[in-house]
A and B are shown apart, each in its own frame.
Chain A
């Protein structure tokens, strides 16, 4: 128990949980300010994604020889989750370096607070896509599984939790080692092709098991699969929870040792 009390990672984590109002309000406000003078606001993102995934659906359903209707829900839901996760990954390296450096240098709030603020902003943006996915699923599948009621919030929560740990870890490492940021951003496009968003794991045939080497598979899977009525895959959930635990351990070691050094790196 002492380990948890004296560990500054857990101390700051508890601080952030207690101050949930502050970061959620600030994130909400960031979103509001970002789209202040637009008419559609954050719904522009939904519209943009809807347009691009319709175009992709038109092309890829022909190439794969699939029914466009089932392909559309699969592609759209996978694509919005991918956008959420990939944005988190690519911006994680900037969290302390640019996004929150002026705050960290001016006030003694724990750096983790700004991680929560940023990750919650991404979550809010992502949530705008959910209604459209549900409408699409209802329109095309004519039904939605009841277990979505708990699996969807749980899946989203797991991704959110991971985004916190990931952003904190990568944020710290890339503040210290500046080569990490360009490296990560160069990895994102190939990862898109390697993640089952455009294609289904079954299409890989004998190579299907390789898909589980990619951590993104789990996170796209836990949010998407139940929502669009794919068969339940316990393996994906176990994998996601394991990755969360690994990230938590990495976070508790890295953050407790180095969070006080962040200010000297930015």
Chain B
């Protein structure tokens, strides 16, 4: 079965129940700071922000799609929708294939647990079985290069080391569909080169890649398609070069 994702006229609205709701206030600032036109009222009179509007796209087997757009245009919202974290207000999504998302590094980590325990915790929280984790553990240990530090509590790590472990513990599995939000250049120079080549390898192995980034070079390098999002709508979709030049023109 070939993996694919089909979006058909997808709308995603964020309801604003009250200004007091802190998380939603954050959402406004992150999504619609500049675009007050996005705030509307839905049928039941609750204010909503339109996160995505009339979004239709087919992600086919072999597609490496770059998502570009300015801050608050809806890139992360789209990735979270594809991941299944959000479900659409209207429209439909069809998904085939196993999906993995790298949207939040350090997911499932606990500060008081040791490095080893955190590898276990984050992978179990992401739904892996103990057996699978045992299989990928050596690779993670080798890749992060933290050695003896893995036996120490996570809170004693420097931020660079924390980032190393967070990165290493998610990259050992290869999913069919890979969603990545922003390229994280983590750690020192040596490690960020290592992580870059690792993530390129992972991107090549996955059958569908959807990748949001501000780095146009990277998008042109890796992707064979690109989508420009503006105010939650597809402003342009085509090959990376065209899309980027369209984006740069404004």
Q: Which residues of A contact B112 (CB under 8 A)?
A: 33, 36
Q: Does any Cβ of B come within 8 Å of A3's Cβ?
A: no
Q: Is the CB of A107 within 8 A of B104?
A: yes
**Contact across chains for B17 and A109 when beta carbons are under 8 A apart:** no
* A108: nearest chain-B partner, CB-CB: B84
Contacts of A106 in B (CB 8 A): 85, 103-104, 107
Given contacts A103-B107, A106-B104, contact A29 B121 (CB under 8 A): yes
User: 0/1 per residue, A247-266, Cβ < 8 Å to B?
Assistant: 00000000000001001111
Once bound together, how far apart are the Cα atoms of A37 and B57, in whole Å? 52
Secondary structure type dominating chain A contacts: helix
Q: In the complex, what residues of B have CB within 8 A of residue A29's CB?
A: 110, 113, 117, 121
Q: Quick check: A22 and B124 within 8 Å, CB to CB?
A: yes
Query: A105 at interface (Cβ–Cβ under 8 A)?
Result: yes
B106 to chain A, nearest CB (A): 9
Q: How far is A265 from B18 in the complex, measured between Cα atoms in Å?
A: 10
Residues of B within 8 A of A22 (CB): 124-125, 127
Task: Evaluate contact between B110 and A107: CB separation under 8 angstroms.
Answer: no
Verify A265–B121 contact, CB threshold 8 A: no
* In the complex, B144 has a CB within 8 A of chain A: no
Chain A residues with CB under 8 Å of B84's CB are 108
Return the contact of A265 from the options B17, B86, B125, B130 (Cβ within 8 A). Answer: B17
Chain A neighbourhood of B37, CB < 8 A: none
Q: How many of chain B's residues have a CB under 8 angstroms from any CB in A?
A: 28
Indicate if A235 sits at the interface (CB-CB under 8 A): no
Contact B107 A263 (CB under 8 A): no
Q: CB-CB < 8 A to B108: which residues of A?
A: 103
Does B10 touch A at the CB level, under 8 Å?
A: no
Given A19-B127, A21-B129, A264-B14, are A107 and B101 also a contact pair (CB < 8 Å)? yes
Is A25 at the interface (CB under 8 A from chain B)? yes
Interface residue A70 (Cβ < 8 Å from any Cβ of B): no
Those of A125-183 within 8 Å (CB) of chain B: 176, 178
Q: Which residues of B contact A211 (CB under 8 A)?
A: none
Tell me, yes or no, whether B23 is within 8 Å of chain A by CB.
yes
Q: How far is the CA of A103 from the CA of B110 in the complex (A)?
A: 12
Cα distance, A103 to B17, chains bound together (Å): 21
Closest B-chain residue to A117, C-beta based?
Answer: B125
Taking CB atoms and an 8 Å cut-off, the chain A residues in 88-110 that contact chain B are 101, 103-109
Chain A's interface size range is 20 to 34
The reply to whether B110 and A33 form a contact with Cβ atoms under 8 Å apart is: yes
Q: How far is the CA of A104 from the CA of B104 in the complex (A)?
A: 11
Which residues on A sit within 8 Å (CB–CB) of B199? Answer: none
- From 1 to 54 in chain A, residues with beta carbon under 8 angstroms from any chain B beta carbon are 19, 21-22, 25-26, 29, 33, 36
Interface string of B53-92 (1 = CB under 8 A from A): 0000000000000000000000000000001111100000
CB-based nearest B residue for A266 = B23
Which residues of A sit under 8 angstroms from B23, Cβ to Cβ?
101, 266
Instruction: Given the known inter-chain contacts A33-B112, A260-B87, please indicate yes or no for A107 contacting B17, CB distance below 8 A.
Output: no
A119 to B124, CA, bound (A): 18
Contact of B86 among A25, A26, A263 (CB under 8 A): A263
When the two chains form their complex, are residues B107 and A108 in contact, meaning their CB atoms are under 8 A apart? no
Residues A107 and B87 in contact, CB atoms below 8 Å apart: no
**Minimum CB distance partner of B117 in chain A:** A29
Interface check B96, CB cutoff 8 A: no
Residues of the B chain whose Cβ atoms lie less than 8 Å from the Cβ of A109: 125-127
Question: In chain B between 9 and 56, which residues have their CB closer than 8 angstroms to a CB of chain A?
Answer: 14-15, 17, 20-21, 23-24
Within 8 Å CB of A36, what residues of B?
112
CB proximity of B77 to chain A, nearest CB, Å:
11
> Nearest chain B CB to A38's CB is how many angstroms away?
12
Check A107 against B85 for contact (C-beta < 8 Å): yes
In chain A, positions 215-266 with a C-beta closer than 8 Å to chain B are 260, 263-266
Given contacts A22-B127, A25-B124, contact A264 B107 (CB under 8 A): no
24 cross-chain CB contacts under 8 A: A19-B127, A22-B125, A25-B124, A26-B124, A26-B125, A29-B110, A36-B112, A101-B23, A105-B85, A106-B85, A106-B104, A106-B107, A107-B83, A107-B85, A107-B104, A107-B107, A107-B125, A107-B126, A108-B101, A109-B127, A260-B87, A264-B24, A265-B17, A266-B23
